[in-house]
Chains A and B, each alone.
Chain A
Amino acid sequence: NAGVTQTPKFRILKIGQSMTLQCTQDMNHNYMYWYRQDPGMGLKLIYYSVGAGITDKGEVPNGYNVSRSTTEDFPLRLELAAPSQTSVYFCASSYSGESNQPQHFGDGTRLSIL
């Protein structure tokens, strides 16, 4: 049972470069989320999606873009990497958007911008 899979696990970027963080889930969950976790901090919501073709901004969306062309995939794109985007990124999914649903997390992508 793969659950939520994120690639890559680690990446170093130079300032101004772009990259896409991949996230795929095999649980047929409609709701997907991207978070960033800065050192010593909790998770901050970047973007979320309630289904294929529908995305919306979270708490800290600036500098990021997302797309949701299929139920399974929810990639996160950084267009012009900045040092402030150095963080650990987590993708998560849940079966529904009900507030009682726990989220299932991927293993994270550790991204450094130098």
Chain B
Amino acid sequence: AQKVTQAQTEISVVEKEDVTLDCVYETRDTTYYLFWYKQPPSGELVFLIRRNSFDEQNEISGRYSWNFQKSTSSFNFTITASQVVDSAVYFCALSEARTNAGKSTFGDGTTLTVKP
């Protein structure tokens, strides 16, 4: 069965600090996809990034970067020079290729608070 663990329930940082959100997953499938979603205080969930199990290249998008390591089953998310607008709940999700209908398993989320 697939499982996603986000061990950090809440993180609080001061603006301009770097912060890393951890995500550890479990799957028996060899082909799978990992996602990060952001849920700002307004409540909607916004897709941030997708990574497939065959692509371990790190990705950088502006202040955001993602580190995918199959050896440790982790897909961590780093925000560089955090800003108040980064305050949100961040969810990591896993979707196995053999799972029909594109169903995803979500972690419980990490609440990030960036203080000015």
Measured CB to CB, the residues of A under 8 A from B are 31, 33, 40-43, 45, 48, 50, 56, 58, 88, 90, 92, 94, 96-108, 110
Contact = CB atoms under 8 A, between A and B. Distances in A.
B22 interface: no
Contacts of B44: 105-108
Contacts, number: 63
B38 to A, nearest CB: 11
B36 to A, nearest CB: 10
A69 to B, nearest CB: 18
A98 B103 CA distance: 9
Interface residues of B, number: 29
Contacts of A99: 31-33, 95-97, 99, 102
Q: Is the interface of B mostly helix, strand, loop or mixed?
A: mixed
Given A99-B33, A102-B35, A42 B107 contact: yes
Interface stretch (B12-20, B45-53, B63-71, B80-88): B45-53
Contacts of A31: 101-102
Closest 9 CB pairs of A and B: A42-B106, A99-B95, A105-B45, A102-B47, A97-B102, A97-B101, A43-B106, A42-B108, A107-B44
Interface in B1-26: 4, 9
Nearest to B49: A102
A12 B95 CA distance: 33
Contact of B101 (A40, A50, A102, A105): A50
Contacts of B108: 40-42
B57 interface: no
A40 B97 CA distance: 28
B75 interface: no
B2 to A, nearest CB: 11
B91 A42 contact: yes
